[in-house]
């Protein structure tokens, strides 16, 4: 089985992240792997699934979040290296 991708959406404020997460989960077959408070009001949500689904979910989530707040960054990592799991439990 191919390794899953991990996608990240970073926003300014929790409300923007909630909007992004709702849109992302509704738009594609992904799971919410977790979220982190970064600091200074910045929060990041982590999504897992196959590469195409994660890309679609991150794009939909970022668009939704930008309608209510500020998107700081988005990223999709296809087939993350096993050692990345040392950064947090949301990367498998």
Q: Is 3 helix (H, G, I), strand (E, B) or coil?
A: coil
For the record, the structure tokens of 31 come out as: 């799971």
What is the C-alpha to C-alpha distance for residues 89 and 55, in angstroms, rounded to an integer?
Answer: 21
With CA atoms as reference, report the closest residue to 47 among 1, 88, 91. Answer: 91
Residue 12 lies in a domain: yes
pLDDT tens digits in sequence order for the chain, 92 residues long: 355 899 999 999 999 999 999 999 999 999 999 999 999 999 999 999 999 999 999 999 999 999 999 999 999 999 988 888 788 776 76
Residue 22 lies in a domain: yes
Tell me if 12 sits within 8 A of 33, measured CB to CB.
no
Residue 92 lies in a domain: no
**Number of independent structural domains in the chain:** 1
User: pTM for the whole thing?
Assistant: 0.91
Domain interval for residue 17: 5-87
């Amino acid at each position: 089985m191919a390794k899953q991708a991990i996608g990240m959406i970073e926003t300014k404020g929790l409300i923007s992240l909630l909007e992004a997460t709702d849109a992302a989960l509704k738009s594609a077959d992904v799971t919410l792997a977790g979220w982190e408070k970064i600091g200074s009001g910045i929060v990041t949500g982590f999504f897992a699934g196959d590469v195409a689904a994660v890309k679609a979910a991150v794009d939909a989530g970022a668009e939704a979040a930008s309608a209510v707040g500020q998107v700081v960054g988005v990223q999709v990592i296809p087939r993350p290296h096993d050692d990345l799991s040392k950064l947090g439990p949301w990367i498998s």
